């Protein structure tokens, strides 16, 4: 395989696991993130398993940086076949009427605008080549709001709608579109949400065996490696003892 995959937010969690899983599957990897040192470490992991990798450090919230990142790719990296819009985060878990404005802006700018930025700059090339695949990492939170999840849930509901809209817009092409919606995944997600409060973050996964980044990476790979006539439109992935975004059995 000589296909190129781009994964945003590739330094940890689902993004890192997806980059490694796709490299193992033969994709040439473009990995992006804001943190240069951590991105370099993931690139070394990919090289250690025999993968080919190109790194770009930028923030998906910065539209001009997104445009430049795609426009200035070396010639041998330009034909992106698979875009995994993974960069995203949750910040805070307070009632909407007590929410933090900065947290709201960061979630909206990253989870929605960042995804749109990358889609806008990468997908035209896929359409021109009539070949490609966009995988957006959504969330079970996009299906129904849960208490104090308000703005985060809204951003992931937007991811679902944006993904569905893109699939409709590309129906006359060979470009596939997938929305993967994880439930509880034990990554840095909760540490980020609670601004580094380790004790509070650990409590999220107490009494249940959560999913891992590798579990979601396997689903990304399954969708990406399906036969060309098969479009995995949407996948909801939950831990066994999780029934929905708000129904969890803890033992």
Active site residues: 152
The tokens of 236 are what?
């909801």
Cα-to-chain-centroid distance, residue 196: 21
Judge whether 214 and 188 are in contact, CB under 8 Å.
Answer: no
How far, in whole angstroms, is CA 53 from its chain's centroid?
18
Strand order in the sheet with 4-7: 53-57, 28-33, 4-7, 80-85, 132-137, 175-182, 234-237
Q: Can you give the C-alpha Rg of the chain in angstroms?
A: 17
How far apart, in whole angstroms, are the C-alpha atoms of residue 37 and residue 31? 13
Which tokens is 18 given? 């997806």
CA distance 100 to 38: 28
Under DSSP, is residue 183 helix (H, G, I), strand (E, B) or coil?
Answer: coil
Cα–Cα nearest to 189, from 137, 234, 115: 137
Is residue 181 classed as helix, strand or coil in its secondary structure?
strand
* 138-147 burial: b if 16+ Cβ within 10 Å, else e: bbbbbbebbe
């Amino acid at each position: 395989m000589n296909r190129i995959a781009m994964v945003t937010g590739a330094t940890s969690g689902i993004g890192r696991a997806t980059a490694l899983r796709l490299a193992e599957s033969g994709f040439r990897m473009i990995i992006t993130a804001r943190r240069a040192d951590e991105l370099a470490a993931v690139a070394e992991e990919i090289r250690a398993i025999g993968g080919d990798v190109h790194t770009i450090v930028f923030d998906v919230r910065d539209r001009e940086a997104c445009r430049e990142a795609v426009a200035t790719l070396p010639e041998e990296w330009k034909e992106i076949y698979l875009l995994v819009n993974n960069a995203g985060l949750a910040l805070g878990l307070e009632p909407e009427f007590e929410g933090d404005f900065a947290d709201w802006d960061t979630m909206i700018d990253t989870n929605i605008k960042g995804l749109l930025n990358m889609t806008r700059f990468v997908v035209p090339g896929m359409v021109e080549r009539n070949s490609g695949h966009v995988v957006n990492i959504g969330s079970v939170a996009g299906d129904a709001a849960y208490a104090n999840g308000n703005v985060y849930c809204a951003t992931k509901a937007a991811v679902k709608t944006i993904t569905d809209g893109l699939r409709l817009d590309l129906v006359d092409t060979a470009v596939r579109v997938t929305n993967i919606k994880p439930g509880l995944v034990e990554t840095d997600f909760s540490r980020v949400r609670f601004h580094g409060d380790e004790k509070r973050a650990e409590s999220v996964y107490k009494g249940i065996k959560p999913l891992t980044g590798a579990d979601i990476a396997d689903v990304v790979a399954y969708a990406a490696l399906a036969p060309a006539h098969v479009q995995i439109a949407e996948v909801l992935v939950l831990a066994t003892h999780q029934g929905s975004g708000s129904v969890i059995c803890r033992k």
